[in-house]
Amino acid sequence: MSLYPSESAAAGLKVTTGSCLAKKQRGEKISCLTAYDYPFARLLDESGIDVLLVGDSWGMAVAGGESTLAVTLEEMLIATRAVRRAARRALVVADMPYGSYQVSQPEAVGNAIRLVKEAGAEAVKLEGGERRAGVVRAIVEAEVPVMGHIGLTPQSVNLQGGYRVQGRSAAAAEQLLRDARALEQAGAFSLVLEGIPRELAARITAAVGIPTIGIGAGPDCDGQVLVLHDLLGLSFRPRPKFVRAYADLAPAVRAAAEAFRTEVESGAFPADRESYHMPSEAAPVRQPHEA
């Protein structure tokens, strides 16, 4: 029982790192979507999504970049603030962008704290397995929950030779199992498994006591995450095999913009009902002696 009730009670029980673990233990699935701004984050929160991931995928889905590598910590702080203002029920997890945790443990801890202290993140996510265990442990010791991320790690796109499925060989699969266990032992509260065979994802999910969140990792993970713009049909790149679009908003947005342009050009917008008027002149004041 919480000692500190909040407004979120009206919208349902607040999702926490602990409640995510409880879902795994009960065999219940965890839903996760990326969010980068207030309007979408509010709608996702109201729809009951468990985890809002403020992903560095912002650099591609929103900013139009070729990869996530150019995303800065300042950009993540801005996006996370917007999402946190909207979220009442969902757990808000902020990605640590490339360069914010690779240089040194003290710098990584400081940047993780900034995402919590300045932007309101309730946890951070970082990529890498065994080699990041020390960083994960240091951040957790600073009281910041950490979501791990192994398999296809977009910040390692140059090292991995592109966006390729990982863990297909026996040696690579065993390394990912070691990565998962190392991150769990370091204190991570959950793991994103990206771009790996479903059979391997099932093995990892069974091997660790923390929730696994899959993206391109098959149905046997404890939860699933997608990039919001892929889910809504607002992506302009070829759709990965693992994406299922639940809406196609691009034609509706395009049609609305075209209708606006047409009415502006014709003079139909704005009409009188969308215009303001000067106040009518007040009636002259009669003097007492006037008839």
Enzyme catalytic residues: 194
The 3-class SS string of 9-43 reads HHHCCCCCHHHHHHHHHHCCCEEEEECCCHHHHHH
Asked if 209 and 180 touch (Cβ cutoff 8 Å), the reply is no
Give the whole-angstrom CA distance, residue 218 versus residue 201. Answer: 7
CB-based burial of residue 186 (10 Å sphere; 0-12 exposed, 13-18 middle, 19+ buried)? Answer: buried
